Amino acid sequence: MKLLKLLLSCFLLFFVLTGCAYDRGLILFNSVPITENNALHDQKTFNTGSKVYYLFIAPKKMTNDYIRVQVFKMTDLSSMGGADVVRTKDYRLMKDERYYHTNYFTFYETGKYVMQVFSHDDFKNPIGVNYFYVQ
């Protein structure tokens, strides 16, 4: 029930901020597990070795059973146009998770990171993008 309240609050905030015309989802980061009390306290900077909790809220109900979460590290030394893929993982969505996904990861190198979420039927166009820093 608490998770449902959290999602409804985030959806309302999402639609108010985007004017209901944006077709991408919302990704929020935090240094503690995301609950209904701290979901709207988006954090962008994390210490090395600390957990980076995230909440992805889809712009509409996801119909696929899987999503792909991919994280890039922005760097000038990369051969791929300034970004190195540091993490890619596919997640199976349960029936009650068709509007959101939450989890965490840990990074031990400083830098700017970009997280993208893809639907399994389109790996070219992310349904959510956001960035954070590790220092």
Print pLDDT tens along the chain (135 aa). Answer: 455 455 545 554 554 444 444 578 999 999 999 988 888 888 999 999 999 999 999 989 998 899 999 999 998 775 656 788 999 999 999 888 889 999 999 999 999 999 999 999 999 999 999 999 999
Structural domain span for residue 45: 2-134
The per-residue pLDDT for 18 is 45
CA distance 130 to 120: 19
> What's 44's domain CATH number?
2.60.40.1930
Which parts of the chain fold into alpha helices (H)? 2-18
Domain count within the chain? 1
Supply the pTM of this predicted model.
0.79
